[in-house]
Structure formats: C-alpha cells, structure tokens
Amino acid sequence: MITKILLFALVIVLVAAVVWVRIAPSTPEYWHRDPVGLADPRRPNFARVDRIVALSPQATRSAIDDAAQADGAQVLAGGDDFTTWMVRTLIMGFPDYISVRLIPVGGGTRIVALSRSRFGYGDLGVNRARLNRWLPN
C-alpha cells in the first residue's frame, strides 16, 4: 500500500513539474537583458557569441528574424537593435531565452548574443547549436 501511495505521489510531482515548465511566466523584466554587459550564467546551460559580420544591421536583423521564426521563437521584448526571444524545446517544452544586440561597426554589424536555458543544469549543446543556426557568419 505504501508503495502505491509513493508511486502516486511521484506521478503527481512529475505532472506538476511538467505543467510548471509550460506555465511559468516569462517576464521580460527578468529575461530581456543586454548581452553586452551581462555576466555569464552560473550554470553551464548557455552559449555566448560575439562576432562581426559583413552585413548591415538591417540585413543581419532580417536573417536572425527568419531563423528565429523557423524555430518557432516568439519575441519576448525589444526591437531593432536589441531583442530577446523565447523558444521552447521540442519534446518537453522547456523555455530558452535568446538575447541579441546588433551594433553597427564600419560596413558591418557586431553581433553580441546570449542563448540560455531556464531550467536544468546543462544544455547538451542546444544553445550553441541554436546560435549557429540563427546568426549569420
């Protein structure tokens, strides 16, 4: 009898965790942070990119918007030169947040981006792969 009760309690806890992942609020005040001055997260579930590309800020923004849309990302906050998106993982629906700052430099654009997972300790390279897909070289 005790085993059934413990098993039932474990199922309830797991269901509650899955539901929380889906309904936890994604507040722009917390997640929309400029990656230029933002320290790296303490957990290794993030990726950071700082590169210069030979595209205008508008062309860079357009390329990133297209890639974000293809991944099903939603704009959480921001606009032209500084935007934060939220995208959910395919299977469990964990929210990840991607903040990108575009800075005009010479004839190109400096891209400073930070992609981070909200839940979990590691990310199995998901954030690095996302930035590689989203950001032009």
Q: Which of 20-24, 35-39, 62-66, 98-102 has the lowest mean pLDDT?
A: 20-24
What does each C-alpha distance from 114 to 7, 13, 25 come to in angstroms? 40, 32, 20
pLDDT of 21 > 80? The answer is: no
What mean pLDDT value characterizes the chain? 93
What does each C-alpha distance from 80 to 56, 100, 103 come to in angstroms? 12, 10, 10
**Torsion angle of C-alpha atoms 40, 20, 85, 110, degrees rounded to 10:** 10
Percent with pLDDT over 90 in the chain = 72
| Tens-digit pLDDT profile for residues 5-16 | 999 899 999 888
Nearest alpha carbon to residue 27 among 82, 97, 92: 97
What pLDDT sits at residue 114? 98
CB atoms within 10 A of CB 115: 26
**CA–CA dist 117, 24 (Å, integer):** 13
3-class state of residue 51 by DSSP: strand
Nearest alpha carbon to residue 89 among 136, 121, 61, 130: 130
What pLDDT sits at residue 41? 92
pTM of the entire predicted model: 0.87
pLDDT of 67 > 80? The answer is: yes
